[in-house]
Amino acid sequence: MSIYKVEICGVNTAKLPLLNNEEKEALFQRILKGDMQAREEYIKGNLRLVLSVIQRFSGSNENVDDLFQIGCIGLIKAIDNFDITQNVKFSTYAVPMILGEVRRYLRDNNSIRVSRSLRDTAYKAICTREQLLKKYQKEPSIMEIAAEIGMSKEEVSYALDAIQSPVSLYEPVYTDGGDPLYVMDQIHDKKNMEENWVEDISLNEAMKRLPERERHIIDLRFFEGKTQMEVAEEIHISQAQVSRLEKNALKSMRNYLS
């Protein structure tokens, strides 16, 4: 699938509009009053989110135009269901909606046949997950989803695994205009925690030059092998902040060591 084409579905992706926060808020107030023109502008102003999501499927054989159209359906659903009273950015709410729509499309068109009962279980789990996420504003666990639909966590896990496609370690999990978070950033690595270069004698000097918080993040990530999510929970900042601080720290250390 060629994801780098400039025009998708007749839309010049190189010239997509980009809304600032004030414009988004103003448009959404008009949308709530039934202004269809504002809704159209809001859709166009968030098409970059759709592009960001479908790039995750660049390794598939699906036509990029088809994926873009399906992603737009997810975007529209997100706009129609977004609750501005919740303290959540629209992009944070919309990306999983778009992603879910594209994955449902790929599952329904998958050449590998999955039994109807297994697929129904998976769809029920996915819908329940979205309902719990919207209700509690946090990602529900498999056990919570299973309890909600009256099934065992093993049944739910098996059904969800059966409809998943392989994922690259370099697939971006989330991006909001800054540094993207990749699948590999979420994975424990107990066997190889950068020990080959961590043991370098000059590394201690490089780490001493880091601000205290950045040094602590490097300790947790590469000496203790924790994921960025675990680090974020421990030091009470967002995962995106952990990612940025980690990249800054590694860059500073490389500059010193070179």
Which residues, in sequence order, are bridge partners of residue 12?
7
96-118 burial, b for 16+ CB within 10 Å, e for fewer? Answer: bbbbbbbbbbbbeeeeeeeeeeb
**Residue 92: predicted pLDDT:** 83
Strands (E), 194-238: none
Query: Distance (Å, rounded) from C-alpha 59 to C-alpha 38?
Result: 35
17-50 burial, b for 16+ CB within 10 Å, e for fewer? Answer: eebeeeebeebbeebeeeeeebbebbbebbbbbb
pTM: 0.43
Contacts of 34 (CB under 8 A, 6+ apart): none
**Residue 3: predicted pLDDT:** 47
Contacts of 89 (CB under 8 A, 6+ apart): 176
User: Mind listing the pLDDT tens digit of every residue in the chain (258 residues)?
Assistant: 444 455 555 666 667 777 788 888 888 889 888 888 988 888 888 888 888 888 887 766 677 888 888 888 888 888 888 887 777 788 888 888 888 888 888 776 655 555 677 778 888 888 888 888 888 888 888 889 999 999 988 888 888 877 665 555 445 555 555 555 555 555 554 444 444 434 444 567 777 788 889 988 888 887 777 888 888 888 888 888 888 898 888 888 887 766
Q: Say if residues 206 and 199 touch (Cβ distance below 8 Å).
A: no
CA angle (256 as vertex; 254, 258 as ends), nearest 5: 65
Query: Distance (Å, rounded) from C-alpha 58 to C-alpha 62?
Result: 8
**Residue 185: predicted pLDDT:** 55
Q: For residue 172, with 0-12 CB atoms within 10 Å meaning exposed, 13-18 middle and 19 or more buried, which class applies? A: middle
Which residues, in sequence order, are bridge partners of residue 237?
none
Which residues, in sequence order, are bridge partners of residue 182?
172
**Residue 192: predicted pLDDT:** 44
Fill in the amino acid letter for 14: A
Query: Distance (Å, rounded) from C-alpha 223 to C-alpha 204?
Result: 12
